[in-house]
Amino acid sequence: MISQPKKKTSPRSARAPAVVFEPLTPQPAYRRVSTVIEQRILRRHLRQGDSLPTETELARQFAVNRSTVREALRRLESAGLVGRIGGGKRLIVTRPAAADTASRVSRALVLDDVTVTELWEAMLAIAPRVAALAARKSTIADAQRMAAITDVVDAARAGDVAIDGVVEFFGGLAALSGNRVLILAMEPVTRLLAPSLRRMMDRVSQSRSRIVVAQRCIVEALRMQDPQEAESWMTRHVQDFRRGYELAGISLDSRAAAAADGDATRS
């Protein structure tokens, strides 16, 4: 007998693993409806100010019940993508306000149990660059407004007023940077750090004066339109927060939520 030649097996095909697919996750109908509308908005097929069809018309187009459409629209309203103007019944496409977006990010970070260290590291990465951009773009009038915020921090008798001024200072710099991504990144971080900064100011007597000195130096850099000086002083300013936490006995490994509740003291 003549033996048949054996077929050569490709080494690549011999080693190829079996293709595995993840099972599809079933989604409620209202979520699928809201996702379709959301994608139309994000792709600018529906623009800010455009009116959505009525619930009845949407139910007809999607071939679902009105209750399904109503739940989908409620989800979009919660996300700030649609809303009603002046109490009207008709929904229109809206843009989420920056403060609302920051609030949602803050809640997400708290639920994710971020620590004081993580927030401080984020601020150290963001704030110096914000200060540099602000110095590059600021005017004399801008520097004067920032100086007025520092005066409030310096003169405030109540700790809440002082810390509100600190948060406003960071927010003002972010606005002067003109970078919307940095503006949205800065607010949740400062909002979540504020309670721990307040505790630091209450426990470390020299902390407020050091904050004021740093702010005045940053304002001077704004006045001189000196990005390098602004970035340098902001770096030192944020690094000083860490030293203040250590002096105040605030655990850097504590959750941000615990710091806000006053449960972040080192044992």
Residue 53 lies in a domain: yes
- The domain tally of the chain equals 2
What are the angstrom distances between the C-alpha of 3 and each of 6, 10, 151, 258?
9, 21, 97, 78
The domain of 237 spans 100-261
Pick from 93, 118, 149: which residue ends a domain?
93
pLDDT in tens, 166-203: 999 999 999 999 999 999 999 999 989 999 999 999 99
- C-alpha span between 252 and 241 (Å, rounded): 11
- Give yes or no: residues 172 and 229 share one domain: yes
Specify the pLDDT at position 105. 83
Would residue 225 count as lying in a domain? Answer: yes
Nearest to 130 by CA among 189, 184, 177: 177
pLDDT value of position 236: 97
- Please indicate, yes or no, whether residues 63 and 171 belong to a single structural domain of this protein: no
Domain containing 247 — which CATH number? 1.20.120.530
Residue 152 sits in the same domain as residue 46: no
Asked whether residue 246 falls in the same domain as residue 219, the answer is yes
* Residues 241 and 131 both lie in one domain: yes
Q: Report yes or no: 221 and 137 within 8 Å, Cβ to Cβ.
A: no
pLDDT of the residue at 163: 93
Using alpha carbons only, what angle is made at residue 137 by residues 134 and 138, rounded to the nearest 5 degrees? 75
| 51 assigned to some structural domain | yes
Structural domain includes residue 10: no
Same domain, 108 and 226: yes
Q: 73-121, pLDDT tens digit by residue?
A: 999 998 889 998 877 788 999 988 777 787 888 888 888 889 999 999 9
